[in-house]
Amino acid sequence: MERIKTEIPDLYVVEPRVFQDDRGYFFESYNEYKLKEQGLDIKFVQDNESKSQKHVLRGLHFQKPPFAQGKLVRVIKGKVLDVAVDIRQGSPTFGRYHAVEISEENKRMFWIPPGFAHGFVTLENGTIFFYKCTDFYNKESEGSILWNDPELNIQWGVDSPILSEKDQNAQRFSQFDSPFIYKQ
């Protein structure tokens, strides 16, 4: 596994080592020891999976402290554009986002630590999205920011995504009072 830095501190793409031949492929999608070697000392407590049709957009979601979640995300089937927005007060990249395409073909993973809002849009029908979480889901701690907020200017590549009611009615970034503080 290789940890690849993004332009936003603490946000990483993880490239697994894939062994492929005429029989198929094999790779370790999670190895605590190898992630630790890469500087990612992470304990996970919950796994989640979703299946979506093409152009479903889920996000931008986060959980407030004390139930803030870090997520290691990947795609089992299909393809997504995955987005993380820095929502840590005092961060030099506060309000900036990073997007990465992850798919069953490239087998990339994306590490999104606490202090980021997260979302994705599916680019293929039947996309299966999987993620490991560092804390348990807590409904009272959930929050969301409007996916198409003009201040964030996220380039999703989809004009009319399929959205939940919650995501349609999320708060604007300018109205968001972040409970997260950037720590150097």
> Catalytic site residues?
61, 131
Please say whether the beta carbons of 173 and 152 come within 8 A.
yes
Lookup result for tokens 């009615």: 169
Distance CA 158, CA 57 (A): 9
Given phi > 0 = left and psi -120 to 50 = alpha, else beta, which region is 103? beta
Please say whether the beta carbons of 165 and 108 come within 8 A.
no
